[in-house]
A and B are shown apart, each in its own frame.
Chain A
Amino acid sequence: MAEPLLDIRGLKTWFKTDDGMVRAVDGVDLRIDRGETVGVVGESGCGKTVTARSVLKLIDMPPGRFEAGEIRWQGRDLIPLDEAEMNKIRAREIAIIFQEPMTSLNPVYTVGDQIAEVIALHQKLSTKQAMAGAVEMLKLVNIPNPERRVTDYPHQFSGGMRQRVMIAMALSCQPKLLIADEPTTALDVTIQAQILELMHEMKDRFGMAIMLITHAMGVVAETCQRVTVMYAGKVVEEAPVEALFGDPRHPYTQGLIRSIPRVDRGAEKKQRLEAIPGTVPSLLNPPQGCRFASRCKYVMDVCTQAMPPLKEVAPGHRVACVL
């Protein structure tokens, strides 16, 4: 098998707080191959975003720190790199878009300035050439009237349009990996579909890989080839998308899939949407055994003693459960 584009091994990103160490990401393995779309799912606070930001080293240190693990980017570990070397990778090789398009753009500069800034920096172009590049990018993400809109400020764009601008900015240097941190969560449903469609289109065009962080299982089913399910800072299941939806092994994954609202077994059949009872354990003092044990309906004695390691149950399908 060829060398993966991104290979995260045993990553631990911890945060020092007044109450102790918060183990936000506690031993995560994640692999992304070239041109592949990998979904990272899990509920709020499970460490998805921290994992994503760790890749670009956008975590404030302190309070955060890399406790252990490697982030291998095309074979090279990113963790020991200094800021100057990271800055050569950011945007040029790995780009990121965020959850909140409303606040992700600087309100005092025009969108053109903000896109051109990346282009001028990484492609060593003059401001004028970079501006032309910015117009080109806006056209690519289907913003009407790009020549005129390029001199507009972010507040003159709607949320969906701003996310398009963010995508234009992220793709302006043709990165090999786009990290999309809940790119559609803050948008309304029709716009969500448009943005996902756009990301697809861009992926086909540039052949980049996408790490799609989301808690919407429906989005995952539609867009991803492989899925990693995270729970309380750990990976609990990893599988190709068909296997995950067809044969979910971990009780948490099963719960997630059952909690997707479905029209065909909705209100008429008086079937209630299933929720996973309980809440995520504190990451300050995580339980010793399986972190899902307190909410799992199949819980056994062995579950509270040690966290089961990820084991392969089918080709490419790994799960961290004793079942």
Chain B
Amino acid sequence: MSRQYIIRRLLITIPSLLGISIVLFAILALAPGDPFEELATNPAVPPEVRAALRAKFGLDDPVWTRYLHWLGAMIQGDWGFSFASRMDVDTLILQRLPTTLIVIGSSQVIAILVALPVGVLAATRPYSLFDQIANTLAFVGFSLPTFFTGLLFILVFSIQLDWLPFVYRADIAGSGWPWLWAHIKQSIMPVMVLGLFQGASLVRFVRSSVLDVIKLDYVTTARSKGIGERKVITKHVVRNALIPVVTLVALQMPIVFGGAIVTEQIFRVPGIGSLLISAMLANDTPVVMAVTFVIACLVVIFNLIADILYGWLDPRISFR
């Protein structure tokens, strides 16, 4: 893998992020709604005040001036000001982002850790009992939307069994192990709901990818060398089978964030998703713009990681 390859990939992210921001900004500009709507119905506020406020935030300027203004400020680290919360957008996001990243990150890690061995085992014993069970569970897993499994989990684990809290609290008092345990306990359900959904489709994908590779000539070559079957699978099959899986995981990142927004609503997780929903409801455009842009950046970053992993897994790519 060459350094040039990584630098080239990094440079490509700049135009894609610019493009994304233009599209996002244009859509938000087209959307109806006025952050100062409530002032219009408030008899105590004269219309001139509202007009002055709009002028102050540049809301009456043409779209492209507003975009350039936003872009200039963004580059300098000024993410704007939330009309609804009366605070800087970046502080708002920084408060919420870690929670989301922890929930999404751990659900992805769990999904991959479970799906990889299960998918590989299922593929090496196609149509066996293990394969049938794994397939059925995977099918159930990705057929059920997260809002359904989320509610089901709450019903079973919180209300019937009373094992886990169903409201996520960011402000748990205390320290040390009990504090950590409380955090883990409240994360279990959202992480499981997201992980199940992700893991289920991954199992199917890993299985079919391994099945494709296992039939190839070089696997027969590996077997003819007299290295044991286990090593044939782990060394010669899995690495090749992972190449398309990496693409899938990267391509699914936007779906994961979408799923996270829904899941955060269900479990009241104070993450970036619930921030986005409340900002939308309040017509708080700077926050909506910033949050969607942050999500876009995360998706681009994950794709970048996937590209780099790609080059590491498949030597044919970085040499091209």
Q: Report the separation of the CA atoms of residues A58 and B227 in the bound assembly, to the nearest whole angstrom.
A: 13
Asked if B56 lies at the interface with its beta carbon under 8 angstroms from chain A, I say no
Choose among B222, B224, B313 the residue that contacts A106 (Cβ–Cβ < 8 A): B222
Asked whether A87 and B226 contact (CB < 8 A) given A108-B315, A153-B315, the answer is: yes
Asked whether A108 and B313 contact (CB < 8 A) given A100-B217, A103-B217, the answer is: yes
Main secondary structure of the interface of B (DSSP, over half): helix
Asked if B66 lies at the interface with its beta carbon under 8 angstroms from chain A, I say no
Ordered nearest first, which 6 A-B pairs have the shortest CB separation? Answer: A90-B226, A87-B226, A103-B217, A106-B218, A91-B226, A104-B217
Interfacial chain A residues near B217, Cβ < 8 Å: 98, 100, 103-104
Interfacial chain B residues near A43, Cβ < 8 Å: none
Q: Report the separation of the CA atoms of residues A117 and B221 in the bound assembly, to the nearest whole angstrom.
A: 12
How close is A69's CB to chain B, nearest CB, in angstroms? 21
Asked if B61 lies at the interface with its beta carbon under 8 angstroms from chain A, I say no
Q: Report the separation of the CA atoms of residues A248 and B32 in the bound assembly, to the nearest whole angstrom.
A: 90
Q: List 13 A-B contacts (CB under 8 A).
A: A87-B228, A89-B226, A91-B224, A98-B220, A98-B221, A104-B221, A106-B222, A108-B239, A108-B315, A117-B227, A153-B319, A166-B221, A169-B225
How close is B146's CB to chain A, nearest CB, in angstroms? 35
Interface of A toward B, CB cutoff 8 Å: 53, 56, 58, 83-84, 86-92, 95-96, 98, 100, 103-108, 110, 117-118, 121-122, 153, 155-156, 166, 169
Asked if B229 lies at the interface with its beta carbon under 8 angstroms from chain A, I say yes
Contact with A along B289-320 (1 / 0, CB 8 A): 00000000000000000000000011110010
**Of residues B221, B313, B314, which shows the largest number of chain A Cβ atoms within 10 Å of its Cβ?**
B221
Does A90 contact B225, Cβ atoms closer than 8 Å?
Answer: yes
Closest A residue, CB atoms, query B218: A106
Closest A residue, CB atoms, query B214: A60
Closest B residue, CB atoms, query A98: B217
Asked whether A107 and B315 contact (CB < 8 A) given A58-B220, A98-B221, A100-B217, the answer is: yes
Closest A residue, CB atoms, query B313: A108
Closest A residue, CB atoms, query B229: A83
Asked whether A121 and B226 contact (CB < 8 A) given A107-B240, A108-B314, the answer is: yes
Asked if B161 lies at the interface with its beta carbon under 8 angstroms from chain A, I say no
Asked if B268 lies at the interface with its beta carbon under 8 angstroms from chain A, I say no
Interface of B toward A, CB cutoff 8 Å: 216-218, 220-229, 236, 239-240, 313-316, 319
Choose among A105, A122, A155, A156 the residue that contacts B221 (Cβ–Cβ < 8 A): A105
13 extra interchain contacts, Cβ-Cβ under 8 A, other than A90-B226, A118-B225? A58-B223, A87-B228, A98-B220, A103-B216, A104-B220, A106-B222, A106-B240, A107-B218, A107-B314, A107-B316, A110-B315, A153-B316, A156-B319
Does A91 contact B239, Cβ atoms closer than 8 Å?
Answer: no
How close is B186's CB to chain A, nearest CB, in angstroms? 42
How close is B301's CB to chain A, nearest CB, in angstroms? 25
Does B224 contact A58, Cβ atoms closer than 8 Å?
Answer: yes
Does B228 contact A83, Cβ atoms closer than 8 Å?
Answer: yes
Choose among B221, B225, B229, B236 the residue that contacts A121 (Cβ–Cβ < 8 A): B225
**Of residues B218, B224, B239, B313, which shows the largest number of chain A Cβ atoms within 10 Å of its Cβ?**
B224
Does B222 contact A86, Cβ atoms closer than 8 Å?
Answer: no
Q: Report the separation of the CA atoms of residues A108 and B221 in the bound assembly, to the nearest whole angstrom.
A: 14
Interfacial chain A residues near B220, Cβ < 8 Å: 53, 58, 98, 104
**Of residues B218, B226, B236, which shows the largest number of chain A Cβ atoms within 10 Å of its Cβ?**
B226
Q: Report the separation of the CA atoms of residues A246 and B202 in the bound assembly, to the nearest whole angstrom.
A: 62
How close is B235's CB to chain A, nearest CB, in angstroms? 8
Does B218 contact A103, Cβ atoms closer than 8 Å?
Answer: yes
Interfacial chain A residues near B240, Cβ < 8 Å: 106-108
Closest A residue, CB atoms, query B228: A87
Interfacial chain A residues near B236, Cβ < 8 Å: 106
Does B218 contact A121, Cβ atoms closer than 8 Å?
Answer: no
Q: Report the separation of the CA atoms of residues A156 and B315 in the bound assembly, to the nearest whole angstrom.
A: 10
How close is A88's CB to chain B, nearest CB, in angstroms? 7
Q: Report the separation of the CA atoms of residues A86 and B224 in the bound assembly, to the nearest whole angstrom.
A: 10
Does A96 contact B316, Cβ atoms closer than 8 Å?
Answer: no
Q: Report the separation of the CA atoms of residues A105 and B216 in the bound assembly, to the nearest whole angstrom.
A: 10
Interfacial chain A residues near B224, Cβ < 8 Å: 56, 58, 90-91, 95-96
Interfacial chain B residues near A105, Cβ < 8 Å: 218, 221
How close is B211's CB to chain A, nearest CB, in angstroms? 12
Closest A residue, CB atoms, query B315: A153
Interfacial chain B residues near A87, Cβ < 8 Å: 226-228
**Of residues A84, A105, A107, A153, which shows the largest number of chain B Cβ atoms within 10 Å of its Cβ?**
A107
How close is A175's CB to chain B, nearest CB, in angstroms? 10
